[in-house]
Structure 1
Amino acid sequence: MIGVSTYVESSVRWGVWDLPAAVLPAGYHRQVRAAGGLPVLLPPDDEADAAELLRRLDGLVVAGGPDVAPERYGAARHPRCGPSAHARDAGELALIRAALAEGVPVLGVCRGMQLLNVALGGTLVQHVEGHGGQPGVFGRHPVRPVAGTRLAGVLGTGELPVPTYHHQAVDRVGDGLVVSAFAGDGLVEAVERPDGPLVLGVQWHPEAGDDGRLAAALVTAAAAAAEERARTSPAAR
């Protein structure tokens, strides 16, 4: 069972309705399902008991979205930093920290990678050029996984083109994370924990493409972690 964080938008239209709604691009849940996982959508809630929720999940995807509030990593706001989603920041940071504490595998996508980095004490560059397409359209550029990393074990070490749409990026890498991919201009494109349950963040948007290997790696890691948690839990003994 894989939890996937969602947006909450003040106005979403379907049929005759135009209402506030929790929404998520369909590529996320489709890739999880295609990989054999059961996707569960998680609306942002800074009041939620994240630890209790994570004990019911086997994996977590932190989805893309708006810029992380710079006060979350102790920075002054850059003029090009976008509006903040404070409830989503709080809720997703709580989910990430609970997942790390519970040994639940994590995949962070774009903003999700940035928030993972911030949760572990890292910082962000608030504006970069050349890593997005036109408004509402994904760009593409090549990334290269770092040899010997877990990401390279999934995607190989060759250069591969990825769907991309971001203007912020990792600056100082969070505690316990290592860089596992770079763009051609040297920008950090992925971070991971080198050991323990899978903890991986990628700056691109795999859900916007047809490469399901990252979702498959998460589902495989979630199944293994769930088996280990069941084996070592007091109830299992």
Structure 2
Amino acid sequence: MASNDSDPVIAISCYMQRAQWGVWDTEAALIPGDYVRMVAASGGIPVLLPPHGMTPAILDRVDGLLLAGGADVGAEEYGQDPHEATVSHPFRDSSEMMLLAAARQRSLPVLGICRGMQVVNVADGGTLIQHLPESLGHTDYQPAPGVYGEVTVTTEAGSLAREILGEATIAPCYHHQGIDRLGAGLRATGRSPEGLVETIEPDPAVNQTGDPADGGWLFAVQWHPEHDPDDDRVVRALVQAARRHVTGRGTRRAPN
């Protein structure tokens, strides 16, 4: 595993579902290769965490957490009945909520991507718009099955989003849900032209206690930065934060 003078280990949450390869057609633990390639290209060591068999202690062995995209967060997690278009994996919800809480207790850097951003928001008491086409009147954020849309994101001055992305960026997106009410202690620091929340991060006005439970570096985006091999800024920011975390603590240890 990583040490002070080696590349940081980045844990990536992954799917557990049916897949096909070679002569096999069975359940598998998997993640699109884009995530793995970009973490590695950004200087991290990628490891996959399946949504079964995990305990908080696994995060004592890594230096950062990437909550990846995937199925919808279950509506019951934020007190709503599911929309007919909502497709969730409850076992993944519970696993990733646990991993997020454990990472924040340890002040591990956390990056949420697409579903991962929604997990972060719901974990802090926020809610989601369950089907954007009904509220927005279009499907631009998820044009067709397996087809990415494109979103322009404008960032807020003084935010981590501005530091990483500059004033604006264009990125690939693929989602039919979005943030409705923000979770406690979070702020929206990037939005689409029609106001949809595209980046969230801790609100410094709220998270000033120094309590490890407030977490360390946390950033989340609604789009899929891993899908654009020419723009690694978001994933590289996670790896750099993980490297700083390793350097700052000296040696890996469990929280008190």
Normalising to structure 2: TM-score of the pair?
0.85
Q: Deviations over 1:62-81 (max 9, x none)?
A: 00001110110111222322
Q: Select 1:13's aligned residue among 13, 20, 37.
A: 20
Change (3 A) 1:234 1:154: closer
Contact preservation (8 Å) 1:143, 1:182? yes
The number of residues matched between the two structures is 230
- Equivalent residues in 2 for 1:20-169, closer than 5 Å: 20-45=27-52, 47-50=53-56, 52-81=57-86, 83-129=87-133, 130-158=140-168, 160-169=169-178
Deviation at 1:231, TM superposition (A): 6.6
Q: Select 1:180's aligned residue among 189, 193, 209.
A: 189
Larger RCO of the pair (alpha carbons < 8 Å, separation 6+)? 2
**Structure 1: distance between partners of 2:145 and 2:220:** 23
**Structure 1: distance between partners of 2:115 and 2:62:** 21
Q: Deviations over 1:209-230 (max 9, x none)?
A: 1210111110110111122233
**Structure 1: distance between partners of 2:180 and 2:166:** 24
**Structure 2: distance between partners of 1:56 and 1:231:** 11
In the other structure, the counterpart of 2:200 is 191
Deviation at 1:199, TM superposition (A): 0.4
Deviation at 1:133, TM superposition (A): 2.0
**Structure 2: distance between partners of 1:143 and 1:205:** 12
Identity of aligned residues (%): 44
Change (3 A) 1:80 1:150: same
Normalising to structure 1: TM-score of the pair?
0.92
**Structure 2: distance between partners of 1:18 and 1:34:** 30
After the TM superposition, which of the residue ranges 165-174 and 128-137 deviates more from structure 2? 128-137
Deviation at 1:53, TM superposition (A): 1.0
Structure 2 counterpart of 1:162, one-letter code: A
Contact preservation (8 Å) 1:64, 1:112? yes
Contact preservation (8 Å) 1:197, 1:221? no
Q: Deviations over 1:6-42 (max 9, x none)?
A: 11112x1111111210111111011110110000011
In the other structure, the counterpart of 1:218 is 238
Contact preservation (8 Å) 2:74, 2:89? yes
**Structure 2: distance between partners of 1:194 and 1:71:** 26
C-alpha RMSD of matched pairs (Å):
1.8
Q: Deviations over 1:186-213 (max 9, x none)?
A: 0000101255632011000001112101
Corresponding residue SS for 2:250: helix
Structure 1 counterpart of 2:234, one-letter code: L
Deviation at 1:147, TM superposition (A): 1.4
Contact preservation (8 Å) 2:191, 2:199? yes
Deviation at 1:84, TM superposition (A): 1.6
Tell me, which stretches of 5 or more residues in structure 2 are unaligned?
1-8, 134-139, 205-214
Q: Deviations over 1:123-163 (max 9, x none)?
A: 111110231121111111211111110011011013x2210
Contact preservation (8 Å) 2:246, 2:252? no
Structure 1 counterpart of 2:235, one-letter code: A
Q: Select 1:170's aligned residue among 176, 179, 198.
A: 179
Change (3 A) 1:41 1:182: same
Contact preservation (8 Å) 2:141, 2:148? no
Corresponding residue SS for 1:55: helix
**Structure 2: distance between partners of 1:153 and 1:114:** 22
Q: Select 2:221's aligned residue among 202, 205, 208.
A: 202
